[in-house]
Chains A and B, each alone.
Chain A
Amino acid sequence: MHYTHKIGLLISFLCFFVISSNAQNKHTISGEVLDAATGEALIGVTVYTADKTVGTMTNTYGFYSLTLPAKEQTIYYSFVGYQTQKREIKLTSNQNIKIELVVNKTALNEVVISAEKKDKNITSSQMSGEKLDMKTIDKLPVLFGERDVLKTIQLLPGISTVSEGGNGFSVRGGSIDQNLILLDEAPVYSASHLMGFFSVFNSDAIKGMTVYKSGIPANYGGRAASVLDITMRDGNMKTFQGSGGIGLLASRLTLEGPIIKDKMSFIVSGRRSYADLMAKAANQVSGDTKMYFYDLNAKLNYKINDNNRLYLSGYFGKDDFGFEDLGMDWGNTTATLRWNHLFSSQLFSNTTALYSEYDYGFNFGDNGSMSSGIKDVSLKQDFTWYANPQNTTKFGFNTTYHTFYPGEFLFEDNSISDIKIPEKQALETSVYASNEQKLNQKLVFDYGLRLSMFNQFGPGENVTYNSNNNIINEELYGKGEVMQSYYGFEPRLGINYLMNSKSSLKLSYNRMVQYLHLMSNSTSGQPTDTWMPSTFNIEPTTVNQYSVGFFRNFMDNSFEFSIESYYKTMNNISDYKDGTQVMLNEDIESYILQGEGRSYGLEFYLKKKYGDFTGWISYTLSNTDNKIEGINNGEWYDSSYDKTHDVSIVSSYQFTPRVSISANWIFYTGNAVTFPSGKYDFDGHQVPYYTERNGYRMPNYHRVDLNIHLEGNKNKRIQSSWDFSLYNLYNRMNAYTINFRESETNPNVTEAVKLSLFGIVPSVTWNFKF
């Protein structure tokens, strides 16, 4: 279909909503819902009428809009962990009503693992989406005392760990680069510190996050498997406060407060590891040794008036490792400027300007240096139109200019020639529209369409290769000339059939197009991975996913149960020819093979959300395989992300108001790997002989973690708490890698060597707040 026809279709699609909205004598109540103590916007507050027939929820910025018949209305504002507020309103005109909810003191010590509406999992048309707040994450056992949002989501069904202790994750068989990770809307291209063991997200600066696995809303795009949308805290609008923690690996400090009370606030949160400082103090390493990471989150928000609000937020993080003559560093920088504007009480607008950069470099002292990275500049416009209580429409556009720096190696010695792989540039643009339509009390549709376009621009050259990776043609393009264009037609659909007040049946479909590819030597992701655009030789990855799920709540919504099934087809997934050198390879495009993949699975989820005992059990049974010409003789083979069984049991018990214990048990099938099925002699070496791709499995993985949380006296000026964690309680030496080699003591003997990273790891963290 021609692209202009597609845009025409999108406009027609949008008009359908307009026509379908009715125009009775109604007025709109709108405004924002805030935390009374801090002035922070509350996301996901339920706003509903007394008869519970009409309702809405606050959006990411705490904004709500509800259009109701002109008469006396009783409106409830309800949020778990807060006292519900009731407002009697004589609705004779549009009204702006700001609500400040007060924390429910009786619930202060209660463990609540979701702050959203109690039966939202049943009533929302969104499936395969999970919202986690920081209270959930704070209570769970941690590695080296560092709370980690990325590790927590790996305990959910359909989201699996790709390597021990790592932050790379696979969603429903997708590769790690198929996850769109957003921090205040800015994409984060490498979300890990310390070679992948710690995420870049400082939990003190995070308000919450939502992960989408299927039925992905049309306002998100650009990645094939999932979206992880992380929101930074806005900062306290009422009073100045600080918080922090001292752990074994790193310490952190957060300061926040009003600049103009109830108008303007700030938050600054920093974290730094100090293994290097301790090692230097103990004279274990030389003064030139660098071995640390740090990050800094900062945010300003300014409420100009009831109709306008500005947010400026940023993240800057770096890892630095090295010695006198050799070092490596990498890090992300993001900046987000947002303007919330109310065109009317029913039309909410958010305009965003974004900057995101990721780079890494090696420093070889007197020998030279190497660097690589990616840089994005984006403009986004999102509208939400609360047309009537039955329809909420979202539409907007997003345009991103990507600059790719595949890499350069500069030698100090002029006698050795430098390696410089030319930069690549691309413009990714999309428009979208979606509508959530409540057809009746039982049926909700959420349908949408996203149209995307990707253009790679010159200067550059489109190179044609033969099967031996030799260049057979080169076509040069000047600055600004379009080298290659791709288009994406991405329909989204979610249907929720409310069987009764406790059960619902949901269906969803989404098509996702991904134009960016991660060139990686590993399945788990390393800081040295390089992002590449879709080009003349590399086509975009497209995924079609169909999901169906049954959701049921028990015991006054205390227990949630769901069973979901999905089937996913993947086109143009990438792998490499045997022996490909990924880094600094000028002709990497000729080594990339593309083919198809498929993934299907069943996900069970049982969660207890309220009470002294909380937690969840998640179990995923799935299969993911690939078929790529040139690999495994063109036959289907198990994907590296295939995990047959994946189980997480997460539990937390509040013994007393000040003592809680939590524990996890994690089990999953070992990754599909390629092991030798024989060996042969060559030039004095015993060389492994491989027969099929991913024909073997790593040993099954399991471990138990434990955390004891002790809360200090809350009446003190400085409140403090302690966390004592034991990671891998039963000290199981799970395999990180298995290598095959000649024995070091007897070269005539070959052996398999298992490398384990973590046995039992104890840690302690002291947290404080003032």
Chain B
Amino acid sequence: MKQYLINKIMFSFSLCVLLGSMPSCEEVIDIDLNDSDPKLSIDGKIEMGQTAQIQLSYTTDYFSEEAPNYETDAIVNIKELNGRVETLIHQGKGLYTGNIVIGREGFEYELEINVDDKTYLGKSSMLTPTEILNIEYLEFDGFGGSEEETEYQLQIVLKNNPLEENYYLLKYYINGSDKEDTYSVYSHEFFPNEETIEFSPMRFIFTKDDVVTVKAYSIDEGTYDYYSQLDEIIDPHGGGSSTPFNPASNMGQDVLGYFRAWSFDQKTVQIEEEE
């Protein structure tokens, strides 16, 4: 999946050329969509040093502004392979949490969910945690930039385990927002097997008043693939796939969502005006 990033950059550039050259116009429209039968969605995670959190809900109509229906009668088990097993407790609104099984480096976790006599099973591995060693910002002078104010991009240095096939998910937050502005994923294939890796995310640009927080997640290959696919669906301008699709779940073929084991480090940076 090394080409993922390249593909994204080039497709975005092509689109910029296309739209920049043409007198295009964007407009929010009303459109009739079919209402599908509700389908189970799993948003499951276990973080390093934390217990598992599993959110079970059902799909809703695309334009619905109401909360989805939650699955409240599931049996949810988390298992540390070659280790302990725990049945998670429903806390309300489809959220199941545990007390015993805590995320540990180097372990693989298996999530088993039983709903209406159907069993969904998925695994994910907790790889070596990364560390944000340094964040700097550089003036951005690439394409599509604003002419009115100076823009910046990040230069990030991460700690890498050269003996492992690492994958990273980086989320970027602006000005204390709970929801990330955007995210990007990186594969070990992109970098030599060294103890530090350095890159500049081309998609994330900000201005001098912004306070930027970066969360760098260490993820396994399956999670990398899932977030790569997810990005094409939620950010179609940045993607390159001809036909939309449902990102493939690791919990089975007839279910949506994903279960991942991960750890993260975070750092915040603010632009300081040059003297």
A-to-B contact residues, CB < 8 Å: 194-195, 197, 275, 291, 321-326, 328, 362, 364, 370, 409, 415-417, 419, 520-523, 526-528, 576, 578-585, 640, 674-691, 693-696, 733, 736, 738-742, 747-759, 761
Contacts and interface: CB of A to CB of B under 8 A. Distances in A.
Given A195-B14, A680-B68, A689-B39, A576 B190 contact: no
Contacts of B232: 579
For chain B, give the interface size range: 35 or more
Query: A-B pairs with the 8 shortest C-beta distances?
Result: A578-B245, A680-B41, A678-B59, A677-B36, A584-B3, A677-B34, A195-B18, A678-B36
A681 B57 contact: yes
Given A583-B7, A683-B43, A750 B17 contact: no
Contact of B23 (A194, A676, A758): A758
B122 interface: no
Nearest to A578: B245
A418 B68 CA distance: 46
B65 A748 contact: yes
A520 B59 contact: no
21 contacts: A324-B141, A409-B6, A417-B192, A419-B6, A521-B242, A528-B14, A576-B243, A675-B31, A675-B244, A677-B62, A678-B36, A680-B60, A682-B258, A688-B233, A693-B243, A741-B234, A741-B236, A750-B62, A752-B28, A759-B25, A761-B23
A738 B29 contact: yes
B24 A755 contact: yes
A578 B141 contact: no
A750 B61 CA distance: 10
B39 to A, nearest CB: 7
A567 B75 CA distance: 54
Contact of A576 (B34, B64, B180, B242): B242
Contacts of B137: none
B143 A676 contact: no
B74 interface: no
B3 A687 contact: no
Contacts of B14: 195, 328, 526-528
B241 A757 contact: no
Contacts of B229: 578-579
Contacts of B272: none
Given A578-B246, A689-B59, A753 B41 contact: no
A681 B41 contact: yes
B21 A415 contact: no
A759 B23 CA distance: 8
B241 A419 contact: no
Contacts of A677: 33-36, 62
B239 to A, nearest CB: 9
Given A680-B257, A738-B29, A584 B23 contact: no
A279 to B, nearest CB: 11
B244 A195 contact: no
Interface in B216-234: 228-230, 232-234
B29 A752 contact: yes
Given A681-B43, A741-B234, A584 B34 contact: no
Interface of B: 1-4, 6-7, 9-11, 13-14, 17-18, 21-31, 33-36, 38-39, 41, 43, 55, 57-65, 68, 141-143, 178-180, 189-192, 194, 228-230, 232-237, 240-248, 256-258
Contact of B62 (A415, A521, A685, A740): A740
Contacts of A370: 6, 10
A499 to B, nearest CB: 46
Given A362-B10, A580-B241, A679-B62, A325 B141 contact: yes
Nearest to A680: B41
A695 B235 CA distance: 21
B230 A585 contact: no
Contacts of A740: 62, 236
B241 A675 contact: no
Nearest to A365: B142
A289 to B, nearest CB: 9
B240 A581 contact: yes
Nearest to A683: B43
A56 to B, nearest CB: 47
Given A323-B143, A415-B194, A679-B60, 12 more contacts: A324-B141, A409-B3, A417-B192, A583-B7, A680-B39, A681-B68, A682-B43, A684-B179, A688-B62, A752-B28, A754-B29, A759-B25
A638 B31 CA distance: 20
B2 A419 contact: yes
A409 B10 CA distance: 12
A756 B24 contact: yes
B244 A676 contact: yes
Contacts of B11: 521, 528
Nearest to A362: B10
A675 B245 CA distance: 9
A690 B245 contact: yes
Nearest to B236: A739
Contacts of A689: 36, 39, 59, 62, 246, 256
B25 A733 contact: yes
Contact of B1 (A522, A581, A688, A695): A581
Contact of B142 (A325, A521, A581, A750): A325
Contact of A690 (B3, B31, B246): B246
A694 B59 CA distance: 20
A6 to B, nearest CB: 37
Contacts of A325: 141-142
A678 B142 contact: no
Contacts of B237: 739
Contacts of A751: 28, 63
B244 to A, nearest CB: 5
A328 B233 CA distance: 25
A291 B34 CA distance: 42
A679 B59 contact: yes
Contacts of B64: 679
B243 to A, nearest CB: 5
A581 B3 contact: yes
B17 A678 contact: no
Nearest to B192: A415
A678 B6 contact: no
A676 B62 contact: yes
A584 B5 CA distance: 11
A636 to B, nearest CB: 16
Contacts of A754: 26-29
A765 to B, nearest CB: 18
B17 A757 contact: no
Contacts of B3: 409, 419, 581, 583-585
Contacts of A757: 22-25
A275 B17 CA distance: 13
Contacts of B65: 748-749
A579 B241 contact: yes
A758 B22 contact: yes
A681 B64 CA distance: 12
Contacts of B62: 676-679, 688-689, 740, 750
B266 to A, nearest CB: 16
A736 B18 CA distance: 12
A326 B35 CA distance: 43
Given A370-B10, A528-B10, A682 B25 contact: no
A662 B11 CA distance: 38
Given A579-B229, A678-B62, A584 B31 contact: no
A325 B33 CA distance: 43
Contacts of B2: 419, 584
Contacts of A680: 39, 41, 57-60, 68, 256-257
B214 to A, nearest CB: 16
B185 to A, nearest CB: 12
Contacts of A690: 244-246
B190 A416 contact: yes
Nearest to A691: B36
Contact of A755 (B1, B25, B141, B234): B25
A328 B31 contact: no
Contacts of A520: 242
